[in-house]
Every structure is written in C-alpha cells, then in structure tokens.
Amino acid sequence: MMIELTPLRRIAAYAICADADDRVLLIRESMNSGTPGVWTLPGGSVLQGEHPEAAVAREAEHETGIQVKASGIVDVVADTRELRHRGVTLHTDRIIFRAEPVGPVTGPGGDGVSTSPKVDAVAWVSRDEAASLQLRPFVAQALKLPLSAEDLPPEQMPELPGFHIVESPDGRPTVQRFAAYGVVRDPIGRLLLTQVAEGYPGAGNWHLPGGGTDFGEQPTQALLRELEEETGQLGRVRALLGLGNHHEPAQIGPEGFPIDWHGVRPYYDVFVDDPQPLNIVDVGGSTAAVRWFTPDEASWLPLTTVTAEAFDAADIASEILRR
C-alpha cells in the first residue's frame, strides 16, 4: 500500500569553509537528524525574511561553534527526497557559499563544539579524508568528490506550486518563494527584459526573464522554461552571477491582501544563440511586454531591484562605456 506523503519545500544555505591548510569544515549528523552518521556542510534552513548569508552564519555557529562569514556564492542546486519517517516528500533549494572563519577556528574540544542536537561531530577534514566519508550527495557535488550515498527520490513527483501561501504562527499569510532569473543576451549584445504587468508589485518596471521553480525542478531548468514561456526564446545558461533577497512584510499583489513575502532569487548569465520573434506564451500572467534593449537603452529604464542588482553583477555599465 502506497503511503501518501505531504509535499514540503524549504530553502537552505550552506558554507564551504576552509582553513589555512585547505581543510574543509564538516559536521556529522546525529541520530536526531534525517540522515544519521552522514557528513555534511554546516548550514540549514533560511528563516522567513532572513538573508541566506545571515542564515549560513547563524546555522554554522550553532552547528560548529565557529563563526563564519559568506564570501561568495559557489552554486545553487535543488534536490527532492522522500522522508517516510516524517511522512513528507521534501524539495530543498540549496545555496552554497564560500565562507571564511571570522573568529577562532577551533573550540574547547579541538575541531569545534556544536550546540545542535542534530550534530554529533565537528571536524576540519582534508579533501582526501572527505573522499572516504559518507557525504550527503549535494556535499560531494559541491566538493567535486565521488558520490558516496544517494537520497531516496520520490516514487511520484507531487504537485506543489512555487507560489504557496501558508499561515504564520501569528495568523499572517506568508510566502517564501524561490525563483531563478537571467541576464539574457543575444549575439549582438542586446539585453532581453520583460515588463511587469498591472496588478503585480513593481508594475511598469522592467524585469529579468525568469520566475518561480516547480517542485523537483533545478533552478537553471526553471529559468530556461520561464524564458521560453515569457519570451518565446531558447537560451543556455553560462554562469551563476549572484543571489538576490527580497523581503516585504506586507506586499499587496493580485491576491488583493497583504502577504509577508520573502523571495530568494539566484540570477544567471544566459545566452540566446538564435533569437526568435518575441512571443509571450504565458498570456495573462505577470508579464505585460517583452523587448530587446541595448545596454545603453536598458540603463535608462525603470528596473526592478533584482534586475539592477544583476546588472551590477554582470557589469553592464562597463559595456555601455565600451560602446
């Protein structure tokens, strides 16, 4: 008999923190965790409204006793696994940062001291030593090591919208949404932007192509799907540029009532090799218009916050100066 599992989503942030000898800080999960005996990176869930960089610092100190600070983004990945003992199918969007220690790199016990009941060991580990440990799959991938374990994938992928309103403990409607966006260029250097439709936050501003990820979907897959739905273009992802974080405690959109809205938004460098006629496939949504702009033209437009951030990360201003 198949047991129906509840679909859940979470956003989590992790640290690849190395010491002067290039040893990596790892933790071993205890019997109180979902994967006892497995080694993983310090980190954990991003709280509502919390910046992922703050989350990774908070979680790392809680799990290792060592203070760290994020110094750059390494990768963003997603995985989905069944946790039958909890009765859930869990989709996790994982943001992996480089991090630096900002205090003592050892605690009273040597490698570090955890105050988390889900951690039973903390260690600085060489890459060779890490290769012999049982690592979470996303950790092995991040450290470029062979997989030593695999998560149990769901027998059937559940449906759960990327935009999912839940009620907070104090009764307020809240959303924590993970979405992927692209700084999209064509062979002659133009930038592709979409205009936010009336009734949506930021209406009239110009926005990066992209949108929310589906349950079980990788961020880059979601980005290319959204690019085609919003503009009719086929693109390819070339690089991860950065991460945006937006929190609006009382945002009003097409729902017509205030929502405690938290958006976490990786953005990528995307290239369209063969531009096609622009076409909004998903008519009636948040996209009112779509257009190619030169970098100079784009610099004069009213832009959404994440678009301006992504343009800075892509150094669009220098492209204007070179023309």
What is the domain-level CATH number for residue 27?
Answer: 3.90.79.10
Q: Express each pLDDT in 23-46 by its tens digit.
A: 999 999 888 877 778 999 999 999
Residue 321 binned pLDDT confidence (cut-offs 50, 70, 90) = low
Mean of pLDDT values over 305-318: 93
Do 181 and 286 fall into the same domain?
yes
Which tens digit of pLDDT belongs to each residue from 234-283? Answer: 999 999 999 999 999 988 888 889 999 999 999 999 999 999 999 988 77
Same domain assignment for residues 81 and 38: yes
Is residue 175 located within the same domain as residue 307? yes
Q: What was the pLDDT predicted at 70?
A: 96
Residue with the larger pLDDT of the pair 154 and 223:
223
178 and 309 share one domain: yes
Task: Tell me if 84 is assigned to some domain.
Answer: yes
CA dist 176 and 47 (Å) reads 9
The domain containing residue 279 runs over which residues?
169-314
Q: Kindly state whether residues 138 and 185 are assigned to the same domain.
A: no
Residue-averaged pLDDT of the chain: 89
Per-residue pLDDT of 54-107, as tens digits, reads: 999 999 999 999 999 999 999 999 999 877 777 778 899 999 999 999 877 665
pLDDT of residue 284: 74
Same domain, 102 and 175: no
Domain boundary among 127, 143, 159: 143
pTM above 0.85, yes or no: yes
Q: How far apart are CA 121 and CA 127, in angstroms?
A: 17
- The number of distinct structural domains making up the chain is 2
Is residue 203 included in any domain, yes or no? Answer: yes
Q: Are residues 75 and 29 part of one domain?
A: yes
Are the C-beta atoms of 163 and 262 separated by less than 8 Å?
no
Q: Does residue 320 lie in a domain region?
A: no
